[in-house]
């Protein structure tokens, strides 16, 4: 009787539609689903705030302004800005993917996870306090040095004046994304730590795509505004906007600090 049952079950599996076969994944708890959605929302908002970072937009603003002044074509500035954003997205996503694998692999051991998330929490808190402090005293938190900015402007002039904008603008976007990583990475690293705490490569890829999509939204809006008005951002016009961008970064880092602190508590409870 037992053999007949086994034979019937195997026959049913053979004849069944593979798309309807049950999977062997563990059950998804409602709380885990809420946690995943919550972390993804946090990552999306963090990416948007990171994109408002003055460090992330200064190079793009200068490129669009240079194209407007040199060629007087808003359409040319729009094309250059969009290609710049494409290069930024590609380079920033690649950097984030590498950082995710480094963080996720080092968090395989529970004790290492606790140490990693604890360090990420402390870093996020220190960065948040620094941005709040510099915002209060009017300093430019995380800004690159004047020499580095002059070097970036020189690079823009060389590449934009080369006549190969379709190739040069994505290169500029990628180069600036990596050069500014020390500034924008202050939000990116804690966000990647949040993604690694949820586990799963698929969710990590989704989170990185969402983060980077949010990151380039302000750049796309800025490009469209410059092209629509035909006016670049001067230092006077950039200043008040940059202050609001720094406030957004401070808020994002504060939220990431709270989330990572809670994750540290969860990991500690499981040890």
pLDDT of residue 89: 96
Q: In which band, very low, low, confident or very high, does the pLDDT at 36 lie, cut at 50, 70 and 90?
A: low
Nearest-5° Cα angle at 103, 100 to 109: 135
- The more confidently predicted of residues 26 and 238 is 238
pLDDT of residue 19: 44
Q: In which band, very low, low, confident or very high, does the pLDDT at 8 lie, cut at 50, 70 and 90?
A: low
Residues 71-124: tens digit of each pLDDT = 677 888 899 899 999 999 999 999 999 988 888 777 667 677 788 888 889 999
Residues 16-25: tens digit of each pLDDT = 444 443 333 3
pLDDT of residue 236: 63
- The more confidently predicted of residues 184 and 13 is 184
Nearest-5° Cα angle at 183, 182 to 185: 65
pTM of the model: 0.77
- In terms of Cα–Cα distance, which of 171, 213, 37, 187 is closest to 99? 187
* 147-163 residues labelled b (16+ CB within 10 A) or e (exposed): eeeeebeebbeebbeee
Please state which of the ranges 51-55, 75-79, 160-164 shows the lowest mean pLDDT.
160-164
What residue spans of the chain are helical by DSSP H? Answer: 2-15, 30-51, 54-71, 74-106, 110-137, 146-160, 165-179, 181-198, 201-229, 235-270
pLDDT of residue 35: 46
Average pLDDT of the chain is: 78
Question: What would the mean pLDDT of 195-209 be, rounded to a whole number?
Answer: 81
- The more confidently predicted of residues 7 and 204 is 204
Please state which of the ranges 121-125, 144-148, 162-166, 181-185 shows the lowest mean pLDDT.
144-148
Residue 217: Cβ within 10 Å count: 16
pLDDT of residue 42: 86
């Amino acid at each position: 009787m037992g053999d007949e049952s086994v034979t019937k079950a195997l026959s049913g599996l053979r004849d069944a539609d593979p798309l309807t076969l049950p999977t062997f994944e563990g059950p998804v708890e409602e709380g885990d689903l809420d946690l995943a959605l919550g972390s993804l929302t946090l990552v999306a908002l963090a990416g948007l705030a990171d994109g408002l970072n003055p460090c992330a937009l200064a190079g793009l603003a200068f490129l669009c302004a240079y194209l407007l002044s040199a060629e007087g074509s808003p359409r040319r500035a729009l094309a250059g800005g969009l290609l710049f954003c494409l290069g930024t997205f590609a380079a920033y996503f690649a950097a984030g993917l590498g950082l995710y694998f480094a963080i996720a692999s080092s968090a395989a051991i529970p004790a290492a996870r606790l140490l990693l998330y604890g360090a990420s929490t402390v870093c996020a808190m220190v960065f948040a306090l620094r941005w709040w402090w510099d915002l209060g005293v009017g300093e430019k938190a995380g800004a690159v040095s004047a020499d580095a900015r002059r070097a970036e402007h020189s690079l823009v002039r060389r590449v934009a004046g080369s006549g190969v904008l379709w190739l040069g603008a994505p290169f500029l976007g990628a180069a600036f994304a990596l050069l500014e990583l020390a500034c924008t990475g202050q939000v990116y690293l804690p966000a990647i730590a949040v993604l690694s705490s949820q586990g799963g490569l698929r969710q990590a890829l989704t989170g990185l795509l969402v983060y980077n999509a949010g990151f380039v939204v302000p750049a796309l809006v800025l490009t469209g505004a410059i092209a629509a008005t035909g006016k670049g951002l001067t230092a006077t016009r950039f200043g008040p906007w940059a202050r609001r961008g720094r406030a957004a970064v401070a808020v994002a880092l504060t939220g990431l600090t709270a989330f990572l602190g809670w994750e540290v508590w969860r990991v500690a409870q499981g040890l």
